[in-house]
Structures are given as C-alpha cells and as structure tokens.
C-alpha cells in the first residue's frame, strides 16, 4: 500500500496562499446566543454543476435535522479553491474564520492550518460519534497530525480519470486508451476526423498540473510517484523528464482556447462532443450528471493512461477552526456530514464515493461502485494539484511554472523549476 500522507518533517506553518486583496469581513459573525437563531457558515468552493447540488443536498439533510440553525452557504467560485483559499487566508488571519471550511486532507490541512495552531482536535468528537472505525485508516491518517484528528472527510474523489464522449468513441470505433501509445493513436484518429482529442481548461493552472500528475503517475508507477513527495526521487530523474516529454506531447492535442477555459468549460467540450477526452477528477462526473448525461451511454471513463490499478486520492474534509464562537453548532454539522445519511446525500451528486466504509452502495451508479472497488484494491497515491502530496508553497510554484510550460513546452527549464521548488518540500 502506498503511503498517502507522504510529506512530513516540516513543522513550520506554511501560509497556503496570498490573502485575497479585496475581501471585506462581514459586519456580524455567526454566534450561538440564546436570543438569536444560531447560524452556521459553511465555506467551500462548490458552486458548479454537480458540486453545488451535492453541497445543497447535504445542507438539506442538516436543515431537516436542525431547523433551528440558519445555514449560510459561503461558497466562493473557482475550481480547486483558486479564489476560495485566498479569501480563507484573509479571514483566518483577520480573526474571522468561517464556522467550518473545505480543506483537502493531507499537507493542505496539516502543514498549514494545523501547523499554525488554527484547528481544534476532533478526537473527542470522533469518540462521541463512534467514528473511529467508520473511515479507512488511510483517510484518518490524512486528517491527523501527531495522533490528533483535525477534520472529517466527506468524500473520496479519484484524480486519475480519463473521461470520454461515448458517442464520439462509438462512431469512430475507438476504445478507451490504456497506455500512452494507445492514447496517441486514439488522439491521431480523432484529429484526422476533425475532433479535438483532449479538452483542457487551464485558465486556472491547477488543471494542467492535474493532467501532469496523472502522466507522472502513469509513467513512474505508484511507488516511484510516491517517492517524489518524500524527497526519495529527484525531479531531475530521467523518468520525470520522460514523463514531462509525454505531457508536452499531449499538449499538442488540446483545444486552442485552453487557457481561456476553466475545468467545467473543458468538460463541456466533451459533453458536447466538440472534444473527445478530458483528464479530470471525478467531480467531472458530477458535472456530466448535473447536465443530464449518463455514464455508459453519453460518456465513458477509464483510468488515465498507464494508471490502471492506481488511484489518486483526493478527500474533501471539514474541521473546527479555533477562533469561532459556535463550536457546538459546527459539531452538529460535522455529525451530519460524517453520517451515512449525509454522505449518501452528498456523494452521488458530487461524483465522489463516500469516505465512510459503511455507506449504502446501492445509492451509487456503475461508476461509483467501480470506484469503491478500486479504492479498496488499488495502489493509492496523493494528489499534488489538490494539496495532499505537498505543501501549498510547492504547489503554488509548480502551478506558476506550469503557466509558462504550457505555452513554451521547455522541458529542461520546467524540470529546473521543479528542482528549485522542491527545496520547499
Ligand atoms: C477539488 C475538490 C473537488 C472539486 C474540484 C473542482 O480540489 O477536491 O471537490 O471541487 O476541486 O473544484
């Protein structure tokens, strides 16, 4: 089994991202008082098709159980938290934390907010709610530091998924590529037929980083990929260079307007059959389903090239910030989020599988069932683009280097930038 929480040792608090420039704190903060209705502010970046539906379904379960609590949905748009994280930094630094906020398990939680002493341990909560044996140990490890649990996982997303338009593939008699060679053959056929082979939306650089990490995983294999994050494999290793060359070649097959699109706009190209394939986490499934498409009929999926038997794990989690004055209200929400009912309301809409081991499998379609099976049997790996593999300082540097790489495709220069950034690991 591959270690997910690969990075450790860096005890220093790492400011995740620059604070947002134009953030004005709200005049009033939610508070638990006797004469005012208690309120709960849930901070996330779930505003798009699928993800918003999932969040609203979860809030709905909470509202039914706690009509006395007013829920404020404080979502900030921008995939993978592009804008939300900056707003969060401003709020946390300004002593105005939301009641609870979305944060990825792994380095993003542990090396920033936990290391900075901003989160309350939840071990007592896990004991009281009898949750300790309800989550896979790998997930508990991702949300723990020094034996303390700091957040509650609501889901497991898979990062290394290749989505494709089923009708386009059927018309051209194509099969989902399983290797890089097959990928390029399929891509050439698509190109000859006037269809953009690969949709990319890297208006926010993380989308390209997401594609790159899937190529690293496929070319290196799970064990070597894992070593990148522990410092046991250097970024100027020949294999990393080869993977970067494969990635550069893939970029020859993307839509021309990739830098003007975000991840949803890229998924839309596949949904509409203008492009045939897209590499994205399975929140893209939430997007496709949210648009009324059906897996197996309208769209298909496969592990990204060469990554069969491997599963890049991304877990969205929510915790309890220290400086809030409504911790009991937040715990009521975390209890719903941790429950089978809450997870089974959220995840089928979100495209993810439940973090709990005892959720109702029948609530999930063929994709969800396959992902649950794969999670149990595959080699697991952490995601760089989604904050579990490495600290935010490193992720930001890679994203910055990526912006230049996508246009210049200078492999040597990119590798130099990765090596320099790795000083932060
Ligand atoms: C990821 C997050 C997913 C999804 C995606 C796109 O970082 O874990 O839940 O929201 O970003 O925004």
Q: Which two tokens stand for residue 231?
A: 């410092």
Q: 289 in ligand 1 pocket by Cβ < 6 Å?
A: no
Q: 287 in ligand 1 pocket by Cβ < 6 Å?
A: no
| Least confident segment among 20-29, 245-254, 316-325, 389-398 | 20-29
Residue pLDDT, tens place only, 163-210: 999 999 999 999 999 999 999 999 999 999 999 999 999 999 999 999
Q: What pLDDT does 19 receive?
A: 61
Residue pLDDT, tens place only, 84-110: 999 999 999 999 999 999 999 999 999
Q: 51 in ligand 1 pocket by Cβ < 6 Å?
A: yes
Burial-class residue 358 by CB neighbours within 10 Å (0-12, 13-18, 19+).
exposed
Mean pLDDT value across residues 373-394? 97
Taking the centre of ligand 1 as the mean of its atom positions, its distance from the CA of residue 192, in whole angstroms, is: 33
Ligand 1 atom closest to the CA of 263, numbered from 1: 6
Q: How many CB atoms lie within 10 A of CB 157?
A: 25
Three-point CA angle 98, 104, 110, nearest 5°: 85
140, β-bridge pairs: none
Is residue 18 pLDDT above 70, yes or no? no
Taking the centre of ligand 1 as the mean of its atom positions, its distance from the CA of residue 80, in whole angstroms, is: 4
Mean pLDDT value across residues 260-281? 98
Mean pLDDT value across residues 263-272? 98
Is 166 in contact with 299 (CB distance < 8 Å)?
A: yes
Burial-class residue 245 by CB neighbours within 10 Å (0-12, 13-18, 19+).
middle
**Confidence category of residue 21, pLDDT binned at 50, 70, 90:** low
Average pLDDT taken over every residue of the chain: 93
Longest distance between any two alpha carbons in the chain, whole Å = 69
Is residue 77 pLDDT above 80, yes or no? yes
Q: 52 in ligand 1 pocket by Cβ < 6 Å?
A: no
Q: Which residues contact 160 (CB under 8 A, 6 or more apart)?
A: 213, 214, 217, 218, 279, 303, 304, 307, 310, 311, 312
Q: Hunting for tokens 């900030």 — which residue is that?
A: 76
Enter the DSSP assignment of 123: H
1, β-bridge pairs: none
Is residue 23 pLDDT above 60, yes or no? no
* CA dist., res. 353 & res. 346, Å (int): 9
* CA dist., res. 146 & res. 148, Å (int): 6
**Confidence category of residue 424, pLDDT binned at 50, 70, 90:** confident
> What is the 3-class SS of 172-233, one letter each residue?
CCCCCCCCHHHHHHHHHHHHHCCCEEEECCCCCCHHHHHHHHHHHHHHHCHHHHHHHHHCCC
Q: What pLDDT does 202 receive?
A: 98
* CA dist., res. 399 & res. 218, Å (int): 20
**CA end-to-end span of the chain:** 22
Assign 252 to helix, strand or coil: helix
* CA dist., res. 138 & res. 259, Å (int): 35
Ligand 1 atom closest to the CA of 315, numbered from 1: 8
**Confidence category of residue 20, pLDDT binned at 50, 70, 90:** low
Taking the centre of ligand 1 as the mean of its atom positions, its distance from the CA of residue 290, in whole angstroms, is: 15
- Give the DSSP letter string of 7-29: -----S----SPPPTT----SS-
Q: What pLDDT does 407 receive?
A: 96
Q: Which two tokens stand for residue 170?
A: 């059927």
Helix (H) or strand (E) holding 397: helix 392-408
Q: Hunting for tokens 């490495």 — which residue is that?
A: 390
Taking the centre of ligand 1 as the mean of its atom positions, its distance from the CA of residue 115, in whole angstroms, is: 23
* CA dist., res. 379 & res. 376, Å (int): 9
Which residue lies with its CA nearest to atom 2 of ligand 1? Answer: 80
Question: Distance of alpha carbon 306 from its chain centroid, rounded?
Answer: 21
> What is the 3-class SS of 323-338, one letter each residue?
CCCCHHHHHHHHHHHH
164, β-bridge pairs: 277, 300
Is residue 30 pLDDT above 90, yes or no? no
Q: Higher confidence at residue 381 or residue 424?
A: 381
Q: Hunting for tokens 């700091």 — which residue is that?
A: 150
Q: What pLDDT does 37 receive?
A: 77
Helix axes 238-250, 206-220, angle to 10 degrees: 130
Tally the C-alpha atoms within 13 A of residue 325's C-alpha that lie toward its C-beta.
Answer: 10
Q: Which residues contact 46 (CB under 8 A, 6 or more apart)?
A: 52, 54, 55, 75, 102
Q: What pLDDT does 14 receive?
A: 45
* CA dist., res. 213 & res. 382, Å (int): 10
Q: What pLDDT does 22 receive?
A: 55
Q: What pLDDT does 9 receive?
A: 36
Is 159 in contact with 210 (CB distance < 8 Å)?
A: yes
Q: Which two tokens stand for residue 148?
A: 């303390």
């Amino acid at each position: 089994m591959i270690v997910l929480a690969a990075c450790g040792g860096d005890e220093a608090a790492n400011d995740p991202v620059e604070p947002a420039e134009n953030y004005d704190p709200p005049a009033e903060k939610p508070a638990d008082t006797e004469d005012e209705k208690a309120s709960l502010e849930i901070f996330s970046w779930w505003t798009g098709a699928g993800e918003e539906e999932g969040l609203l379904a979860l809030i709905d379960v909470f509202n039914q159980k706690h009509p006395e609590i007013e829920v404020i949905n404080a979502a900030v748009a921008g995939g993978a938290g592009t804008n939300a994280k900056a707003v969060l930094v401003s709020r946390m630094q300004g002593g105005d934390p939301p009641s609870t906020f979305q944060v990825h398990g792994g380095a993003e939680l542990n090396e920033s907010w936990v290391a900075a002493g901003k989160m309350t341990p939840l071990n007592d909560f896990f004991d009281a709610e009898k949750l300790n044996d309800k989550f896979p140990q790998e997930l508990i490890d991702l949300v723990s530091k020094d034996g303390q649990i700091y957040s509650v996982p609501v889901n497991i997303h898979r990062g290394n998924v290749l989505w494709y338009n089923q009708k386009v593939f059927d018309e051209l008699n194509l099969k989902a590529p399983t290797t890089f060679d097959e990928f390029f053959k399929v891509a050439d056929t698509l190109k000859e037929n006037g269809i953009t082979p690969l949709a990319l939306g890297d208006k926010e650089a993380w989308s390209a980083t997401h594609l790159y990490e899937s190529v690293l995983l496929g070319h290196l294999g799970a064990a070597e990929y894992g070593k990148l994050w522990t410092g046991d494999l250097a970024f100027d290793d020949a294999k990393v260079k080869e993977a970067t060359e494969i990635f550069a070649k893939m970029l020859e097959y993307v839509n021309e307007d990739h830098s003007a699109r975000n991840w949803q706009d890229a998924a839309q190209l596949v949904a509409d059959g203008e492009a045939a394939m897209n590499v994205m986490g399975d929140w893209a499934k939430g997007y496709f389903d949210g648009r009324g498409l059906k897996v197996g009929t309208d769209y298909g999926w496969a592990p990204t090239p060469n990554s069969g038997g491997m599963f890049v794990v991304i877990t969205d989690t929510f915790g309890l910030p220290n400086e809030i004055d409504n911790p009991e209200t937040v715990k009521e929400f975390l209890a719903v989020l941790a429950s089978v009912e809450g997870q089974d309301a959220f995840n089928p809409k979100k495209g993810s599988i439940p973090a709990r081991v005892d959720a109702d499998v029948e609530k999930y379609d063929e994709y969800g069932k396959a992902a649950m099976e794969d999670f149990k049997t595959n080699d697991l790996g952490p995601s760089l683009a989604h904050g579990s593999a490495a600290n935010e300082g490193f992720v930001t540097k890679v994203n910055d280097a990526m912006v230049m790489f996508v246009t210049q495709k200078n492999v040597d220069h990119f590798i130099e930038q990765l090596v320099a950034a790795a000083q932060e690991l």
